Amino acid sequence: VRNITIKDVAKTAGVSTATISRVLNENGYVSEDVRQHVLQTVKELNYLPNAVARSLKQERTRGIGMIIPDMTNPYFMKVIRTLQRQLLEEKYHLLYMETESNSSKEAEALQFLLSMRVEGIILAGAGGNQDLLKRITNSGTPVVLLDRNIPGFSADLVMEDNHTPVQEAMDYLIRKYGNEIAVINGPLNISTAKERSEAVLDTIKHSHAIIKEEWICEGDFSRDSGRSACHQIMASSNPPLGVFSANNEMTFGFYLGLKDLNIPLENIEVVSFGDLDFSPLIQAKLAVVQQKPESIGEASAQLMLERLNNVKMQVQKRIFIPELVH
């Protein structure tokens, strides 16, 4: 079943395709009579312009690519929701790709988006594709980095300050529990995790605390890795009294781990970078670094829109400082 084309409309309306186009795009002169008649026929035939053809001709797709590690992480979904709404208002649409923080999947995703001729890419990156990314920006497709910086690749960036709140968090834990604390880092190849980890180490160093090596774990930002870390940390006969977890999902996993081990959640105080939606419902000593996914989403959308309108704009960095909340 063939789709209705602009030619069909032109034929039944008894005018040229140019006129149809002018009416629908509201550019160029066209008499009111003809306009009404065209609109009428368009409705009768249920004509929907072919966006593929339009994109080819105009050499613009109004598509923006979005690459994230994990679609089920509520943090990213909140980011995306506002992001998408903002872009939709300006008639842009999003194409999502998921990478599971895997560099080669990220490369595939990037190539796919380029072949789709998206006009910009918003990337919460796994890293490892610096060369490709440079080619992309050089060839004129703007990239906005979201949540994660990529060393060796300079681009617009929207992220959260990972130092300040982590230092505050660690200060708090050390002051309260001395050496009896543990740390669950994220995957250190990701900037966000690395920065948080550096802030952790800095604070430990300055405070002259001495933390057991086996109490400093490296997870991968996943729920499962937080759970394993918990098992490792709490295995000890006298376990730590406080723990810093570098993201929401690992914190979630840590609590699941406590449950596995039949340890009451409030036995250990947790400071988590990133909130858990259900934190009011659990009986736990939990302080969180409160992220602002909506702000991140909005800022990245704005930044992308600005960049699309002004290719030559200087590189922009938007850094949000999340607060530690008890």
Partner DNA sequence: TTGTAAGCGTTATCAA
Partner DNA sequence: TTGATAACGCTTACAA
Residues at the site binding a second copy, with contacts judged by CB under 8 A: 1, 3, 46, 48-53, 55-56, 61, 71-72, 74, 77-78, 80-81, 84, 93-96, 98, 111-112, 114-117, 135, 138-140, 252, 255-256, 259, 265, 276-278, 280-283
Q: Choose from a second copy, DNA, none: what does 6 bind? Cβ within 5-8 Å by kind.
A: DNA
Angstrom distances, CA of residue 164 to CA of 31, 56, 167, 291: 63, 47, 5, 13
Q: Choose from DNA, a second copy, none: what does 18 bind? Cβ within 5-8 Å by kind.
A: DNA
- The distance of closest approach from Cβ of residue 93 to DNA in the complex, given in angstroms and rounded to an integer, is 16
Q: Choose from a second copy, DNA, none: what does 82 bind? Cβ within 5-8 Å by kind.
A: none
Contact (Cβ atoms closer than 8 angstroms) between residue 153 and residue 130: yes
Report 32-91 residues binding DNA (CB under 7 A).
33-34, 47, 49-50, 53-54, 56-59
**Tokens linked to 110:** 């990037």
**Tokens linked to 307:** 């960049």
CB nearer to a second copy: pick between 140 and 152:
140
Contact (Cβ atoms closer than 8 angstroms) between residue 48 and residue 266: no
Number of residues interacting with DNA: please give it, by CB under 7 A: 32
Q: Choose from a second copy, DNA, none: what does 71 bind? Cβ within 5-8 Å by kind.
A: a second copy
SS (H, E, C) 251-305: HHHHHHHHHHCCCCHHHCEEEEECCCCCHHHCCCCEEEEECCHHHHHHHHHHHHH
Cα separation, 189 vs 195, in Å, equals 10
205 lines the binding site for DNA (CB under 7 A): no
Question: Which of 177, 171, 227, 218 has the alpha carbon at shortest distance from 197?
Answer: 218
213 lines the binding site for DNA (CB under 7 A): no
Q: Choose from DNA, a second copy, none: what does 152 bind? Cβ within 5-8 Å by kind.
A: none
Contact (Cβ atoms closer than 8 angstroms) between residue 127 and residue 103: yes
Angstrom distances, CA of residue 200 to CA of 13, 31, 173: 70, 70, 11
17 lines the binding site for DNA (CB under 7 A): yes
30 lines the binding site for DNA (CB under 7 A): yes
Q: Choose from a second copy, DNA, none: what does 39 bind? Cβ within 5-8 Å by kind.
A: none
**Tokens linked to 27:** 């550019």
CB nearer to a second copy: pick between 46 and 237:
46
- The distance of closest approach from Cβ of residue 19 to DNA in the complex, given in angstroms and rounded to an integer, is 4
CB nearer to DNA: pick between 114 and 263:
114
DSSP state of 178: T
Tell me whether residue 101 is exposed, middle or buried, using C-beta atoms within 10 angstroms of its C-beta: 0 to 12, 13 to 18, 19 or more.
buried
Residues that bind DNA (CB under 7 A): 2-3, 5-7, 14-22, 24-25, 27-31, 33-34, 47, 49-50, 53-54, 56-59
